[in-house]
């Protein structure tokens, strides 16, 4: 691509995505004001509100999706990326045929011609190992750093050896420039950005449409909130907030897209906080419910804990790197490298040097400050700090308890914000910031993910609230993603992010449909047998359950979306374990949890839809949702089935993979680690896949035994393991632990502070104020007697004069005439008295 074409493409992408990003903001503004005024100035509505706000929001986000999609095609056409990579085919080929080992590194010599169709199943079923290209051909290593001199840079054009060849970065608008600090609104567009855009806008569109139906009972002037009990057994009444809901959704969409589009880490932080605010607003949508408002607070505060780490990371990065930008990919801009380019060379290697003060990392940059470096441990600290933000946002251990409580928000919010997009932003950022993470940080990430996925899954087993099961499942799945990223499976983690977004939002919407149909009943113990009442919801939910469980047809190896991505994760874990035997947990825990996942998901489905109705009242009133709610379910279920097929998705993700990931490598700076290469992962794919599938089938079968066929009574198990059960029901005691560790100490300290304030500071202030009062009362006496007295004398005397003047105004005509004469005479006399006589 010539520099001109590059710039042109970059500009087109920038505007397409920029508009897609800003449209929801416009929508937000219109909805929040229009909603307010529309209510007052629409006499025809008769108190019944219009759905205009919803249409506006759907229009904005839907247009955003179309723009994102067209941006994707423009990007694909303009760059040389191969979506259906041979690497993908290789994985599947291998999973059938076993070992190709390292061999396919040398299977090159194949130019992957565009015409070669990977149509339908054939791409998976046939052995296409002969097509394996060099795995680096997708992301060929560049032999030089960017931007050294224009000639050199141009020289590299068209060779495809630029690690950022398919990425476009630049600046929308520079906000401020303080010395070296540039605060600007940047963009960084590569395959991952585009993928996130398409995913977010597509899911958001579906959820917006779903919400039109789900929130329709807000379309009234008198909404009765059955969950708010007022004294006297009454319920709380308030005007409906339909428009407000959609305004918040639009604001959230804007913030989320901004987060994804951001070209520098500071901007990410800004939008990071913005999505946090939107999440806060949406969780607390039913603000009158005590549980909702406390849940919103909890989410907000816990996220702030993580953001504290984020801020520390930002400070370290700014101090040592002097820039916030991810990478500068403009072929014509010399100098001004981004963070990734400074930290790693074009082969993706860190330049670590041992010095007397310890290990330092040499940073690359413009020649004049070639001596820039950062201590290795600080790079670790920065990485862990940034990851701390991701822990908060993605509800990872130990900051996971906010997510289940966040289910107090309306279900579309849970589907959009708390499963598909915002909570996945932590994973996205970990993936985006991958080049800045040292192996030590990656290990931390892996273990955090590992702990989280296990905790989440175990609690989900005993949860009975349908949305909470899904929430714990989300936590667990996010843990999977983190684990994958941590063990070097960069593609696997983000792969699972996308597939999970589809099937989890699908399941949330299904649960929303159930809740809507059952008149806001969320307890699964009162459901059952609903498959007759709501068939569409039932079967779309089933698709979601199968997808998340990772079930597949064993021989054909065809499964739903979750099967592929979970396979990739487990394979990464296995490959990592084979390199680092001490970290065997990173393989076995996810493997076992895959079984648990299948168990609790099928448990949910059986309890809700299968078997006899458990509560006749709920069952009798249940009904299928209107089509405005079921159509999004069907759309999403199509994606939950097929989004991973043909390898397009995986190939798309891999176009953005950081250069150093594919080759793997060992590191022994502080912790000895071997990160698996792509080849190593391919090598164990089949084994891992089979194991995971086996685990899932076992889990699903157990679930059927317990909850469908009722062969074993779950209550018996519950009794015999009552200690464990209680422990799980209490969510591993996290809430109690935090209560004891943080909340109560804070309360105690606060009480001390209050008493100090009251007894010492206030006493002092009160005495001061009392003295002032005494002094001012003296002052007042002086004022009243002397100053006021004087003023009053003047006032009353002028008033008296004024009154006396009226006496002349008698109203008698005779006197008036006499006054004329007297006046003239008087003037006469006066004039002549003062005029010089001689």
Partner 1 sequence: MSVSEILNGLIYGDLTRSIEVFCPEVLLCVTVIVLLLLRLFSLDHKIPPYVIALGGSVVAFVAVLLQFVFFTTGGAETNLGAGETLFSLFQLTEAGVGSPGELFTGLLMHDAFTLFFRLGLTFFLVLVVALTVLTGIPDNEDGPDFYTLLIGSTIGMMVATSANHLLMLFLGVEMMSVPSYVMVGFLKGRRSSSEAALKYVVYGAGTAGIMLYGLSLIAGLLGTAEFAELGPRLAYLIDGDGVTLSNPNIVVTLLGVMMVLVGLAFKLSLVPFHFWCPDAFEGAPAEIGGFLSVASKAAAFALLVRFLLAMTASGGGELESLNLYLGLALGVMAAVTMTFGNLAAYGQTNVKRLLAYSTIAHAGYMLMAVSAMLVITNAAESSGWSAAQVQDGAARCVEGLMYYLAVYLFMNLAAFAIVALIRNETFSEEIEDYNGLAHHSGTMTVLCVCMGVAMFSLLGMPPFGGFFAKLLIFASVWNAGSIHWLMWALVVIAGLNTIFSLFYYLRVLKAMFIAPRPEGVRSINMSGLVGAYVVVITLPILLMGASPLQNNLSATARYVASVLFP
Number of Cα atoms under 13 Å in the Cβ half of residue 398: 8
Nearer to partner 1, 712 or 827 (CB): 827
Nearer to partner 1, 715 or 801 (CB): 801
Closest CA to 622 of 532, 539, 540, 510: 532
Give the shortest CB-800-to-partner 1 separation in angstroms. Answer: 9
Cα(59)–Cα(814) distance, rounded to whole angstroms?
A: 85
Place of tokens 């999609």: 69
**What's the Cα-to-Cα distance from 520 to each of 7, 209, 227, 408, 608, rounded to whole Å?**
53, 19, 10, 12, 14
Helix orientation angle between 722-729 and 439-462, rounded to the nearest 10 degrees: 110
DSSP alpha helix (H) spans, 233-289: 242-261, 265-283
Nearer to partner 1, 66 or 830 (CB): 830
Residue 647's CB is within 10 A of a number of other CB atoms, namely 23
Place of tokens 């108190």: 47
Nearer to partner 1, 711 or 807 (CB): 807
Contacts of 76 (CB under 8 A, 6+ apart): 83
Q: Which two tokens stand for residue 331?
A: 């072929």
Q: Which two tokens stand for residue 727?
A: 């422990």
Give the shortest CB-834-to-partner 1 separation in angstroms. Answer: 8
Nearer to partner 1, 767 or 798 (CB): 798
Nearer to partner 1, 672 or 830 (CB): 830
Counting every residue, how long is the chain? 838
Using DSSP bridges, classify how beta strands 351-355 and 358-362 pair: parallel, antiparallel or unpaired. Answer: antiparallel
Nearer to partner 1, 176 or 831 (CB): 831
Give the shortest CB-796-to-partner 1 separation in angstroms. Answer: 11
Contacts of 778 (CB under 8 A, 6+ apart): none
Place of tokens 């600090």: 181
Give the shortest CB-39-to-partner 1 separation in angstroms. Answer: 21
Give the shortest CB-46-to-partner 1 separation in angstroms. Answer: 24
Q: Quick check: 471 and 404 in contact, CB under 8 A?
A: yes
Give the shortest CB-33-to-partner 1 separation in angstroms. Answer: 25
Give the shortest CB-788-to-partner 1 separation in angstroms. Answer: 16
Nearer to partner 1, 760 or 829 (CB): 829
Give the shortest CB-793-to-partner 1 separation in angstroms. Answer: 15
Nearer to partner 1, 711 or 813 (CB): 813
Cα(643)–Cα(561) distance, rounded to whole angstroms?
A: 6
Nearer to partner 1, 716 or 805 (CB): 805
Give the shortest CB-804-to-partner 1 separation in angstroms. Answer: 9
Give the shortest CB-822-to-partner 1 separation in angstroms. Answer: 8
Q: What's the longest Cα–Cα distance across the chain?
A: 140
Nearer to partner 1, 771 or 829 (CB): 829
Q: Quick check: 551 and 558 in contact, CB under 8 A?
A: no
How much helix, strand and coil, in percent to the nearest 5, is found in the chain?
70, 10, 25
Give the shortest CB-823-to-partner 1 separation in angstroms. Answer: 4
Phi then psi dihedrals of residue 180, to 5 deg: -85, -15
Chain residues in the site for partner 1 (CB under 8 A): 798-799, 801-803, 805-806, 808-809, 811, 813, 816-817, 819-820, 822-824, 826-828, 830-832, 834-838
């Amino acid at each position: 691509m010539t520099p001109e074409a590059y710039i042109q493409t970059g500009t087109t992408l920038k505007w397409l995505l920029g508009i897609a990003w800003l449209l929801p903001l416009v929508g937000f503004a219109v909805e929040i004001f229009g909603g307010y005024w529309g209510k007052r100035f629409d006499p025809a509505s008769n108190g019944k509100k219009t759905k205009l706000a919803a249409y506006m929001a759907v229009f904005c986000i839907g247009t955003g999706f179309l723009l994102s999609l067209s941006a994707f095609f423009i990007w694909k056409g303009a760059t040389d990326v191969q979506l259906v990579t041979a690497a993908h085919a290789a994985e599947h080929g291998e999973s059938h045929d076993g070992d190709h080992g390292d061999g396919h590194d040398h299977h090159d010599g194949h130019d992957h011609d565009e015409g070669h169709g990977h149509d339908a199943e054939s791409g998976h079923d046939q052995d296409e190992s002969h097509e394996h290209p060099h795995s680096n051909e997708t992301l060929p290593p560049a032999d030089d750093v960017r931007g050294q001199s224009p000639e050199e840079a141009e020289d590299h054009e068209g060779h495809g050896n630029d690690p950022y060849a398919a990425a476009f970065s630049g600046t929308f608008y520079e906000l401020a420039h303080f010395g070296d600090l540039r605060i600007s609104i940047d963009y960084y567009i590569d395959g991952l950005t585009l993928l996130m855009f398409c995913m977010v806008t597509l899911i958001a569109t579906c959820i917006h449409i779903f919400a039109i139906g789900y929130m329709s009972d807000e379309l009234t002037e008198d909404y009765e909130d059955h969950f708010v009990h007022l004294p006297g057994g009454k319920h709380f009444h308030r005007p409906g907030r339909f428009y407000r809901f959609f305004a918040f959704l639009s604001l959230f969409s804007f913030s989320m897209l901004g987060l994804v589009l951001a070209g520098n880490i500071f901007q990410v932080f800004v939008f990071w906080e913005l999505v946090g605010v939107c999440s806060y607003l949406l969780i607390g949508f039913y603000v009158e419910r005590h549980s909702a408002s406390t849940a919103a607070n909890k989410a907000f505060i816990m996220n702030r804990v993580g953001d504290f780490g984020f801020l520390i990371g930002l400070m370290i990065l700014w101090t040592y790197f002097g820039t916030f930008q991810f990478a500068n990919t403009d072929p014509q801009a010399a100098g001004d490298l981004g963070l990734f380019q400074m930290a790693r060379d074009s082969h993706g290697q860190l330049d670590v040097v041992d010095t007397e003060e310890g290990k330092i990392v040499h940073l690359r940059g413009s020649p004049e400050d070639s001596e820039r470096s950062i201590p290795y441990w600080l790079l670790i600290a920065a990485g862990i700090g940034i990851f701390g933000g991701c822990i908060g946002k993605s509800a990872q251990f130990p900051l996971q308890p906010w997510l289940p409580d966040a289910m107090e928000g309306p279900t579309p919010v849970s589907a959009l914000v708390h499963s598909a997009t915002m909570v996945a932003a932590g994973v996205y950022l970990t993936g985006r910031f991958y080049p800045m993470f040292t192996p030590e940080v990656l290990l931390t990430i892996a273990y955090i993910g590992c702990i989280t996925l296990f905790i989440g899954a175990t609690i989900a087993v005993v949860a009975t609230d349908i949305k909470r099961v899904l929430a714990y499942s989300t936590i667990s799945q996010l843990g999977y993603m983190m684990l994958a990223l941590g063990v070097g499976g960069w593609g696997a983690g983000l792969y699972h992010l996308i597939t999970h977004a589809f099937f989890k939002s699908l399941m949330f919407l299904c649960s929303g449909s159930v809740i809507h149909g059952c008149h806001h009943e969320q307890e699964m113990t009162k459901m059952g047998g609903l498959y007759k009442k709501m068939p569409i919801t039932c079967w779309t939910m089933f698709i979601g359950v199968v997808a998340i469980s990772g079930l597949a047809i064993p021989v054909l190896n065809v499964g739903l979306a979750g099967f592929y991505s979970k396979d990739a994760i487990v394979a990464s874990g296995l490959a990592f374990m084979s390199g680092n035997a001490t970290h065997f947990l990173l393989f076995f825990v996810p493997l076992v949890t895959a079984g648990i996942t299948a168990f609790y998901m099928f448990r949910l489905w059986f309890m809700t839809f299968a078997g006899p109705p458990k509560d006749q009242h709920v069952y009798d009133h249940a009904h299928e949702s209107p089509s405005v709610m079921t159509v999004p379910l069907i759309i999403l279920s199509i994606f939950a089935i097929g989004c991973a097929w043909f390898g397009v998705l995986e190939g798309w993700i891999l176009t953005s993979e950081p250069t150093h990931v594919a080759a793997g490598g060992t590191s022994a700076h502080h912790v000895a680690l071997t990160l698996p290469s792509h080849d190593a992962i391919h090598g164990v794919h089949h084994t891992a896949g089979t194991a995971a599938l086996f685990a899932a089938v076992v889990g699903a079968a157990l679930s059927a035994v317990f909850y469908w066929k009722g062969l074993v009574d779950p209550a018996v198990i519950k009794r015999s393991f009552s200690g464990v059960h209680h422990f799980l029901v209490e969510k591993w005691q996290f809430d109690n632990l935090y209560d004891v560790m943080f909340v109560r100490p804070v309360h105690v300290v606060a009480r001390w502070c209050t008493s100090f304030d009251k007894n010492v500071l206030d006493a002092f202030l009160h005495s001061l104020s009392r003295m002032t009062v005494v002094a001012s009362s003296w002052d007042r006496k002086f004022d009243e007697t002397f100053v006021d007295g004087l003023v009053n004398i003047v006032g009353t005397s002028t008033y008296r004069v004024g009154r006396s003047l009226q006496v002349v105004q008698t109203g008698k005509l005779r006197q008036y005439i006499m006054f004329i004469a007297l006046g003239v005479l008087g003037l006469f006399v006066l004039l002549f008295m003062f005029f010089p006589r001689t």
